[in-house]
Amino acid sequence: MLNLPTEYQDGVASQRGMDLDTIQTRQSARRALIIDDDPDTVDLIKIIFRNAGMDVVGAFSGKEAIQKCSDSVPSVILLDLMMPDMDGWETFHSIRQMTDVPVIVVSADTKKENVVKGLNIGFDDYVTKPFFPPELVARVNTVLRRASGATPLTRRVYPEIDLTIDFETHEVQLMGEDIHLSSREFALLEVLAIKAPRLVRYEEIATKIWDTDNYKVRNRIKYLIYLLRQKIEQDPNNPQLIINREGLGYQLNIGYSEDN
């Protein structure tokens, strides 16, 4: 654990950011997503950037990071490389399919060949641990100044099921294949995808797509689900991707639960 300089200790700075893992999201000009499987490191970097005036959100795995990248729409991402299961290299590849938001690696891997490899594939900077907090903040500020015109996040990637959805162009790819959906089919998939892997209740689906909820709309939902399953399920009669929770609603099964 690094010892923070006095100006970076929790509770000192007058203009502090907020920890978005503990409060409801607010509109923010600058927001950092910190990805590291070590909770102490995530907490430390959160303190540093909150005291630098940024909002922060943390993720402890690549899978969680992809979800939080979609949910929190960060201005910058600080990424560890040496994580179990889905490592930082794979996580970066998935993030780049969603957005070109700046990514700074913060890693104990000091191998020069990996630093060069990372910069060549698109890392915006590479900082080795242990780091000097003021330098890390300065590097992030420099990257943010360079990236003031970054493209907004319009895509979501679900690597467990090899699904990519572009909410702006309405393009859908599943296992490398383009899936052509009608506007209503896409609207239903979008509702499920944004909440995935959480359950979306019938009434929420109905009001988001039709602005009303009644038995006729519920029947339309069932028919749209039938059409969607014909296009994205390997066996529509035994659906594995769009799961029905009888009496409650539907969920997009993206291969892991909220608790993972």
**C-alpha torsion sign, points 187, 191, 196, 198:** negative
Residue 202, pLDDT score: 94
Q: Where are the alpha helices (DSSP H) in 87-182?
A: 88-96, 112-121, 133-146
Q: What is the pLDDT along the chain (260 residues), one digit of tens a residue?
A: 455 655 555 444 446 777 777 665 454 458 999 999 999 999 999 999 999 889 999 999 998 998 888 888 899 999 999 998 899 999 999 998 888 899 999 999 999 999 999 999 999 999 999 999 999 999 999 998 887 655 556 778 888 888 999 888 899 999 989 999 999 999 999 999 988 888 999 999 999 999 999 999 999 999 999 999 999 999 999 999 999 988 899 999 987 555 44
CA–CA gap between residue 180 and residue 170 (Å, rounded): 9
**Cα–Cα dist 245/84, whole Å:** 32
In the DSSP assignment, the letter for residue 19 is B
Report the amino acid identity of residue 27. Q
**Cβ neighbours, 10 Å, residue 130:** 10
Single-letter residue type at 131:
F
* Amino acid occupying residue 35: I
CA-based nearest residue to 140, from 46, 66, 4: 46
Q: What is the pTM of this model?
A: 0.61
Go through the domains of the chain in sequence order and give each one's CATH number. 6-146 (3.40.50.2300), 155-252 (1.10.10.10)
Query: Is the CB of residue 125 less than 8 Å from the CB of residue 143?
Result: yes
Q: What is the reported pLDDT for 11? A: 45
- Report the distance separating Cα 186 and Cα 167, nearest Å: 9
For residue 215, the SS3 value is helix
Residue 128 forms beta bridges with which residues? 107
For residue 228, report the phi and psi dihedrals to the nearest 5 degrees: -60, -45
Positive or negative, the CA dihedral 16, 124, 75, 67 is: negative
